[in-house]
Structure 1
Amino acid sequence: MLCIDLDLFKNVNDSFGHPMGDRLLRCVAERLRAQVGGQDLVARFGGDEFAIVLAQVTSPNEASDFAARLIEIVSAPYDMDGLEVVIGASIGIALAPGDGEDCDALLRNADMALYRAKAHGGGCHHFFEKEMDRQAQIRRDMELDMRHAFARGEFELHYQPLIDLAEDRISGFESLLRWRHIERGMISPADFIPIAEDIGLIVGLGEWVLRQACIEAARWPDDIKLAVNLSPVQFRSRNLVQVVISALAQSGLSPRRLELEITESLFLADSEANLATLHQLRSLGVRISMDDFGTGYSSLSYLRSFPFDKIKIDRSFVTDLTERPDCLAIVRAIAGLGRSLNITTLAEGVETIDQLQALRGEGCHEVQGFLFSPARPACEIDGLLRKFGRRASQAA
């Protein structure tokens, strides 16, 4: 059983319209049908997903060779009225009887293998593995638990201080979501945030984070800012601006004290609509920060497309800052870019005095990291502000 998903098909629909997309699907179907024998079956499941049942395959190698050839055939350019259209394909493979003895099991397992192929960047095929089933069960359990976590009060916000290097004091806090599972304890955001994005829960979760963080920040001194991360998924709901307005109004927090952090992946889809939303947010007086700068695509073009208030230097460059000249050169370039464009630069993941001194020497404006403090619960904010009431470098 082969599950096939077309790579980049959405771009065709978005760029040339659904009629062109429908024609392309028919062309793909013709190519697939030409590759199967009399006892094989090829079908379209819906959208840009197809499935093939190969009755005569006798070995994994044969299935692998067929899948590789199929990807090459589907990925060849299509001539659509003189317009060259290029897509790709990803394939998941399940073999009977080892991967399932009935249609439902084979299809489910082939689909899991397809998910793995897509996660590896697409344009490849992947066989089902027993570990995938275990991981899928863990994911299903986590999805179910997440849907009940709100009612059980398991989500909470922690805050990590942002240090202004010129004034050597706390200038703000970044709010970070934590999940204290009733049985499993603290679950890493790296484990649950992607799932929340996949199942759409991040929209409601993000609204709660924004409201709760603004309410908490309104109790802080007036010169302390609040930074809140936004998921690209939140922009798809198209009511993000109203959510921000509501959170500010409910809390009484001044817009000038709120920083909204986005990642470069926001610009990979619906960029015009997302840019319009960013401009609306900025018109409220809210500051916009680009997170994980330098780890995505076309960073410099994004700086031209929107007047960011802050760019955050990813921790991957800071970790080896004092050992690797290339990391130092990248930090130096980003800091210089920030000065030239009048954009604040903040370095993440600062853990040593040597890193701090190097970042100060390169002209970074702000830093955050375990050298000063990990993220702490809201009840510890006052203590952190008192601790850093004296010079931050001494307190660290």
Structure 2
Amino acid sequence: MDRLTGTLTRMGFVSQLDSAAEIYGLDTLLLVNLQVSRFGWLNNGLGVSLGDKVLHRVARRLQKTFPGALSLGRLHGDHFALLFGPDIDRDEVVERLLDFSQRPIALEHEVIVLSIRIGVADREARADSAQTLLHSAEVALHRAKATAAKVVHFDASMVREATDIFRLENDLRVALVKNKNELHRALHNEEFFLCFQPIVDIARRRVHAFEALIRWRHPRRGLIPPATFVPVAEQIGLMDVLGAWVFRMACQAAARWPADPTGDKPAVSINVSPTQFAEPRLIMAMIQSSLAETGLEPERLEVELTENALASDDLRQPLQSIQDLGCAVSLDDFGTGYSSITKLQAMPLDYVKIDRSFVNDLCAPCPEARRKARELTQAVIALGQVLSLVPIVEGTETQDQVDVVSSFGATLFQGYHFARPLPESELDDYLTNFSRCEVSE
């Protein structure tokens, strides 16, 4: 048994999975693999002791929620697995898990709302062994994490795709780790480029800002997503070089943007990696030099960091210094990390970006899912407003979503409903035409 949670260990779970396969047959079993998202940041931000208590509470809740499960195990770290026998309703299991994840956990004066990813494997996996069924659920969970989906059901194509992606990423990592000049070469050859996604103000009918998003067009590997190369840049210590390039190019672009029909010029929002905040003086020098070289007004620069970066206790002074320059500070992925309200209140912040995971189910066909999504989104927006932080709602893809969230008091939106990330060459036309777009007030 796992000492921390009182559930089965991975070895014990696999043993019971083998037994269940012999009794019921593999093709009758349902295996669900779930992970508590970003649990490492909870440990960093609130402490390992509290993190252990969260895992213990998760295990107890799973036991109470699914008393009829054949097995429950903690496979490792923040990964759990549930095994169900014949005649179980797969959709009902998933719905109950999603409901389970939205119930807050109160521990030691902290209120924590979990975020989980779920991978599901059943007869469609066509598994020929217990290990294969478990692996199928793990592949589905990996796909859920990679695509930011809440739930993924396994199908055979995922194994082939996972193998291809692994080989591509591994080749890239090996190339970059062995040769740090690869990124320098890419910068010199202008293989990196920026796209800009608008953040719109529906109340004032204007573009509030453009978020700068880096892309890499590799000469042999094609378009490489930032989720692949940014972690590698952090790993080999080149994030400062890459980050400085992004700041310089984004500020240069913003300095060229014309005023919109209201007479205002949009700001530019630039992401800063948590690893960059390890050297606050370098960040300040990078921001100051970018503003000085490009002539961009400080009030038109927004520095964006993820909520997980707040795990560091040394962040207040660097953020205050950024604000003292006249720039704004925006907190990304708000509501998905594990920062305490006390820490959020103490940090010098201007904006909070409401994560797209809150928006996805606002107009879901299921009334219960829709109700919960709306109540949770409204609560997160209200929390930001109580902390005097202006909410920016990410991931809006439909007018219905905009209408719902705007009724909660939000006016700033970002998402494909308004525009995909655009090359700089298209921004002038977008600014000119935006006032003609139909946006909800």
- Shorter chain as denominator, the TM-score bin is 0.5 to 0.7
| Deviation readout 1:111-143 (Å, 9 max, x if unpaired) | xxxxx9xx9xxxxxxxxxx99788544421355
Shift of 1:245: 0.7
Q: Which amino acid aligns with 2:284?
A: V
* 1:185 aligned partner: 222
Alignment pair present for 1:375 and 2:421? yes
Alignment pair present for 1:319 and 2:353? no
Which of 207, 210, 221 pairs up with 1:170?
A: 207
| Deviation readout 1:323-374 (Å, 9 max, x if unpaired) | 2322212210122123333321011111111111111111112001111111
The structure-2 alpha-carbon separation of the partners of 1:135 and 1:335, relative to structure 1 and needing over 3 Å to count, comes to closer
Q: Distance in 1 between matches of 2:167 and 2:201?
A: 47
Unaligned runs of 5+ in 1: 1-6, 12-67, 69-115, 120-129
Shift of 1:285: 0.7
Which of 357, 365, 374 pairs up with 1:328?
A: 374
| Deviation readout 1:87-110 (Å, 9 max, x if unpaired) | xxxxxxxxxxxxxxxxxxxxxxxx
Q: Distance in 2 between matches of 1:175 and 1:134?
A: 25
* 1:353 aligned partner: 399
Contact 2:336/2:355, CA 8 A, preserved across alignment: yes
Q: Which amino acid aligns with 1:383?
A: D
Q: Which amino acid aligns with 2:439?
A: S
The structure-2 alpha-carbon separation of the partners of 1:326 and 1:199, relative to structure 1 and needing over 3 Å to count, comes to farther
Alignment pair present for 1:259 and 2:302? yes
The structure-2 alpha-carbon separation of the partners of 1:150 and 1:355, relative to structure 1 and needing over 3 Å to count, comes to same
Shift of 1:147: 4.3
Which of 363, 385, 388 pairs up with 1:342?
A: 388
More deviation in 218-227 or 350-359?
218-227
* 1:291 aligned partner: 332
Matches within 5 A, 1:76-155: 136-141=170-175, 143=177, 144=179, 145-155=182-192
| Deviation readout 1:193-241 (Å, 9 max, x if unpaired) | 1111111111111111011111110112243111000001111233111
What TM-score, normalized by structure 1, do the two folds share? 0.63
Q: Distance in 2 between matches of 1:133 and 1:162?
A: 36
* 1:246 aligned partner: 289
Q: Which amino acid aligns with 1:347?
A: V
Alignment pair present for 1:231 and 2:273? yes
Aligned-pair identity (%): 39
Which structure has the larger Rg over C-alpha atoms? 1
What TM-score, normalized by structure 2, do the two folds share? 0.57
* 1:49 aligned partner: none
Q: Distance in 2 between matches of 1:387 and 1:201?
A: 39
Alignment pair present for 1:387 and 2:433? yes
Higher RCO structure (Cα 8 Å, ≥6 apart): 2
Shift of 1:298: 2.1
How many positions carry a matched residue from both structures?
Answer: 274
The structure-2 alpha-carbon separation of the partners of 1:278 and 1:352, relative to structure 1 and needing over 3 Å to count, comes to same
Q: Distance in 2 between matches of 1:246 and 1:207?
A: 9
Which of 199, 210, 213 pairs up with 2:250?
A: 213
| Deviation readout 1:288-315 (Å, 9 max, x if unpaired) | 0100001111242332121310000001
Q: Distance in 2 between matches of 1:136 and 1:183?
A: 15
Q: Distance in 2 between matches of 1:292 and 1:304?
A: 16
Contact 1:157/1:377, CA 8 A, preserved across alignment: yes
Contact 1:203/1:237, CA 8 A, preserved across alignment: no
The structure-2 alpha-carbon separation of the partners of 1:153 and 1:307, relative to structure 1 and needing over 3 Å to count, comes to same
Q: Alignment partner of 1:373: what SS?
A: coil
Q: Which amino acid aligns with 1:162?
A: I
Q: Distance in 2 between matches of 1:347 and 1:378?
A: 23
Q: Distance in 2 between matches of 1:134 and 1:188?
A: 12
Q: Distance in 1 between matches of 2:231 and 2:266?
A: 30
Unaligned runs of 5+ in 2: 1-39, 45-75, 77-141, 146-162
More deviation in 190-199 or 335-344?
335-344
